[in-house]
Amino acid sequence: MQVALINGSPKRHRSASGCILKYLQPLLEQEGHVTAAFSLGRPELAPQDAKGIGDCDALIFALPLYVDGLPSHLVSCLLQLEESLARSGGKMGVYAIVNCGFYEGHQARWALNILENWCHRAGLRWGYGIGLGAGGVLLSIENVPLGAGPTRNLAQALRQLASSVGQGFGGENVFTTMNMPKLIYKLAAEVGWCRSAKANGLKIRDLSLRRGS
Amino acid sequence: MRLVIHDLEPDCFKQLFPGQLGDLHIISPEAPIHHCLGCFGCWVKTPGACVIRDHYGDLGELFARCQEVLIISRCCYGGFSPFVKNVLDRSISYIHPFFVNKNGEMHHRRRYSNRARLEVWFYGDTTEQEKHTARGLVEANTINLWWEAAGVEFFQIPEEMEGRLPCKSL
């Protein structure tokens, strides 16, 4: 089966969505699938991407949660894909992994619902989605092998997904979180913001700047 | 301040909002909008302002001055249209990068203290499932923006909104 791995992040390099797909790709290949990578990081869908995605048997999206939904550029791409896929008459299964900066994976539920609704409009078959919490940690542990340390829950969800794709399984969305305590995740994220601010020549108090007041 | 964010064609907007706009501030697709790059520069480089300096670079500051917000958007799969969603994506400087716990969930801390009332009017051919998604999405938005929900309504076409506009919130 040819599986499209669709990165919905606007970042060209070093995205959490890219990390997830990097973990997932070998699992799919172990199941005997061939993968094809696509990057939908801009609002304009390239004709070769539309064709390439239309030629696949299953689609797996990985994307960041943006303001409780999909990033705007991806909505734009989905509108264009709806047209091209409807023309091709494909009935491929669609799966998605939405990574949240928040700790709780279930905060991705409305983004997954939007993707499911897109499938219905495009005449595709929705498999299921994974809402991954604490996704902000992914880039800092990208060299950790899947299944080790904080990636244990992610490994379980991705192995299940790799197995489901070939069998065409659908089901309820899965919500999970990277394996680290909530307080540690919160502190690590906030230390990260402070370091970034300092690297940009700011003081920590500048993070709280109120414009116009 | 009262704010309207919409994705309507100019003629349609004029039909719905004839005459003087008074203190209404309008965000419309009148200028090209760049999509959010996920760089978080609006938090750690130029806190409170987007690093992309197009027509939509100061939305967070604008949100901070609002008491009432009306969003008019085509419903796309139960979510906002690309333009309206882009406006929301480009406005995260409105909130603070640090986290707080709220009702057992992690959310971003507030940067500003205003608490706007958010009303959303979706238009277009919308399924019941999409309406369910849209209501849930708007509720999640109000939680994350620290706003109050003032209602979600659905219209087949934008012209159905005519005559509804001098409503309680605008």
Measured between beta carbons, the chain B residues lying within 8 angstroms of A201 are none
For B73-87, write each residue's pLDDT tens digit.
999 999 999 999 999
Residues 122-181 of A with CB under 8 A from B: none
Per-residue model confidence (pLDDT) at position B165? 67
- State pTM to two decimals: 0.97
Residue A14 near chain B (CB below 8 Å): no
Question: In the structure, what pLDDT confidence band is assigned to residue A5 with cuts at 50, 70 and 90?
Answer: very high
Which of A18, A91, A97 lies closest to A60, judged by CA? Answer: A97
Residue A151: which residues within 8 A CB-CB, separation 6 or more? A23, A141, A144, A145, A178, A179
Nearest CA in chain A to B99: A186
**Residue A184, pLDDT above cutoff 80:** yes
Q: List, as own/partner pairs, every contact residues B11-19 make where C-beta atoms lie below 8 angstroms and the sequence separation is at least 24, other chains included.
A: B12/B158, B12/B159, B15/B159, B15/B162, B16/B158, B16/B159, B16/B161, B16/B162, B16/B165, B17/B165
Reported as a pLDDT band with limits 50, 70 and 90, residue A211 is very high
Residues in A touching B34 (Cβ below 8 Å)? none
Confidence tier at A90 by pLDDT (50, 70, 90): low
The order of strands in the sheet holding B24-27 is B24-27, B2-6, B68-74, B117-123, B148-155
Instruction: Count contacts between A and B (CB, < 8 Å).
Output: 153
Structure tokens at A195: 């370091």
Q: Which domains does chain B have, with CATH numbers?
A: 2-161 (3.40.50)
If one counts every other C-beta atom within 10 angstroms of the C-beta of residue A177, the result is 22
Question: Mind telling me how many Å the CA of B160 is from chain A's nearest CA?
Answer: 24
- B44 CA: distance to closest CA in chain A (Å): 5
Q: Do A211 and B82 touch (CB under 8 A)?
A: no
Average pLDDT over residues A189-197: 97
Nearest Cα of chain A lies from the Cα of B87 at a distance, in angstroms, of 9
